[in-house]
Structure 1
């Protein structure tokens, strides 16, 4: 078994959420579960932006779910979507 790269899109609860603070909180919640490869911001529209996290996790059952659950439990996170999973 190898590793997989997972691209996640995280939506904040509102346009008032500070994305830099949210990025720090998410990073702290998942840094022991995976390796963070890249973080970007994506404009959605009407002032709302999403965070795009690219993370590397072991190719084992439940690993992606544990990362998603950790992110979902962070304050001011509205939604977590897995956009892509690639074996590396």
Structure 2
């Protein structure tokens, strides 16, 4: 079984949410088989930023990772932007 890189964009529930804290929480709750290898804060609109995570994991459904990330306090929504074999 190969590995994939999954890019997930997390939107905060409010402009005042600390995205570095969300990244820290995401690293703490990642399953053992998944690892955040890159994070980026990207502007969206009117001062609102999003957190873009790149996660390396086995070639399987990212549903468990997505469910864990959705439970982080301050995350309004998230979107799997890209999945690619590495």
Provide the residue aligned with 1:38 in structure 2: 38
How far the C-alpha of 1:49 sits from its partner, in A, is 0.3
How far the C-alpha of 1:54 sits from its partner, in A, is 0.3
**Deviation larger for 35-44 or 23-32:** 23-32
Within-5 A mapping of 1:51-70: 51-60=51-60, 62=61, 64-70=62-68
Provide the residue aligned with 2:85 in structure 1: 87
Q: Structure 1 stretches (4+) deviating beyond 3 angstroms?
A: none
Distance 2:51 2:12 in 1: 8
Consecutive unaligned residues in structure 2, runs of 5 or more = none
Q: Taking structure 2 as the reference length, what is the TM-score of the superposition? A: 0.92
Consecutive unaligned residues in structure 1, runs of 5 or more = none
Cα RMSD, aligned residues only = 1.2
Within-5 A mapping of 1:24-35: 24-30=24-30, 32-35=32-35
**Secondary structure of 1:49's partner?**
strand
**Secondary structure of 2:49's partner?**
strand
